Amino acid sequence: MAVVEVVSSELVAPSEPTPRRALWLSNLDLAARNGYTPTVYFFRRPDGGGCDDHRPEFFSADVLRAALARALVQFYPFAGRLRAGGLGGRAEIDCDAAGALFVIARSAAALDDFEGFAPSKAMNDMFVPKYDSAGGPDAPLLLLQPWFLLPPAPFSAQVTFFRCGGVALGTAMHHFVIDGRSAFHFIRTWAGIARGDAAAASVPPSLDRTPLRARQLRTVLFDHTHEYGGRTSAAAAARTGGVKPGPEYASAILRVTGAQAAALRARAGAVSTFRALVAHVWRCACAARALAHDAESRLYTMVDMRARLAPPLPDTFFGNAVVRTSASARVGDLLASPLGFGARRLLGATGHGDEYARSLVDYLETADPAALPRGGLPATDLRVISWLGMPSNDADFGWGEPALLAPALMYYAGFVYLLSYPGKGGDVAVAVALEPQRMARFKELFFEELATLE
């Protein structure tokens, strides 16, 4: 395993004064996973120099640091600290401008050594900052309150320089603070400032989260217990056959070409790329896991509600504007039916609008935070996060687009990400984590089906 050596670690504060205030977190923020979303971008040096041809101007740490300080002026919550405050010790962001963690590291490895990159704890430990590396009296602090442990800074970044000139940029953003669309808005702004693109840096985030407050007269019109807890342990055990999630997983990033994605959409009944691919993954996972045909499998996903609320939220809304939904099916029906069967199940789960989101916010107002599901999944289920359609590859800091973007860590078996490959071919990356003994069979089934489309 390659060794990464930390060269420097510092806190980068906004380059200009920012408002000092407490930023309220909505119920959707606090229902998110209490932890970081670690992401890694790999960049190849565009000049193609050799291993001994080090050029400090490529991914200049000084340029990145200065651009980060400027980006934090608009995105100043990322320079703050999570703390327990307000009524009942509710979590909030103290916008104190203490700074985001910025780490410079180096490795004797070459970028090509990670050609078969797969998310794992080892990859996360190598490329994503460790908060104890901040050091000094101004290091971020952990705050403890009754129902969760609050971490330090909401954002951190690590730039790792490889011996052959390539670079890995690892970021960690706390999920209480942002969802995927907010995260990529920040990266696009930081990158735009670094490369001197004023237009890319001229779209500020919308920090007002009050449109997501619970209503005075709370009205829960939908059953949110599958997605946000509340089921009895006996009922859950009966549904899953008593199968409990395990801590270990194997992961892989599988590439689907644009042509394959188009053919899969057609086979599923002219649905979206998301629904066609998820239906395919769902079927392959059930078969690879050798689930009983009379077992129920549930697939969880997230829906961005920005454009679906009434009135809609700005596209630049900075926070969590996503809601968890799910669809279930009998395993035998999934496997025996055409691909469109699973896609239609997903359509019902992802078609919710304002009424559903308001119902969920009201439901969470009185839910026990300790009872919200934040761990793994039973071996019958999947959780899919889609970054399709987001500006995930708009991370050109002045030295070209990333060669690869991927989650650095997957947390548990049954976790799946969909994201666009860099370039204009429409290729899709499917990052999947499954039980170690199931992964080889899953990949066989995944590619066998795609081969029939060619």
Catalytic residue numbers read 175, 396
Give CA–CA dist 362/356, Å, rounded: 10
| Residue for token pair 């990266």 | 187
Report the amino acid identity of residue 156. S
Q: Cα dihedral sign for 207, 421, 384, 308?
A: positive
Give CA–CA dist 33/36, Å, rounded: 8
Half-sphere exposure of 114 (CA within 13 A, CB side): 32
Alpha helices in 135-204 (DSSP H): 180-194
* Structural contact between residues 354 and 309, judged by C-beta atoms closer than 8 angstroms: yes
Cα torsion at 208, 212, 216, 221 (round to 10°)? 170
Structure tokens at 221: 């019109």
Sheet holding 21-24, edge to edge: 21-24, 91-95, 81-84
Structure tokens at 440: 């080889």
Give CA–CA dist 285/434, Å, rounded: 8
User: Following DSSP, what letter does each residue of 29-61 receive, concatenated?
Assistant: HHTS-SSEEEEEEEE--TT---TT---TTTT-H
Give CA–CA dist 383/349, Å, rounded: 13
Report the amino acid identity of residue 284. C
Backbone angles phi, psi at 19, to 5 degrees: -60, 135
Is omega for the bond preceding 38 within 30 degrees of 0, making it cis?
Answer: no
For residue 8, what are the CA distances in angstroms to 5, 133, 159? 9, 9, 10
Max CA-CA distance within the chain? 67
